[in-house]
Amino acid sequence: MTKNKSTIIPTIIIYKSLRYLHAQIVNPKNGKVLAQFSDKKMSEKTKTLRAEKLGIKLAEILKKQNIKNLTFSRNSNKYRGRIKALIESLRSEGVKI
> Domain limits of the chain?
2-92
Q: Among residues 23, 29, 39, which one has the least CA distance to residue 74?
A: 23
Q: What is the pLDDT of residues 31-74, one digit of tens each?
A: 899 989 999 999 999 999 999 999 999 999 999 999 999 998 87
Global pTM reads 0.86
pLDDT band for 8, please (50, 70, 90 cuts).
confident
**Nearest CA among 9, 6, 3 for reference residue 73:** 9
Q: Which residues contact 25 (CB under 8 A, 6 or more apart)?
A: 10, 11, 12, 13, 33, 34, 35, 36, 58, 61, 62, 67, 70
Residues 6+ apart with CB under 8 A from 6: none
Q: Which fold has domain 2-92?
A: Nucleotidyltransferase; domain 5 (3.30.420)
Higher pLDDT, 75 or 52: 52
pLDDT at 2: 47
For residues 55 and 79, give the distance between their C-alpha atoms in angstroms, rounded to a whole number: 15
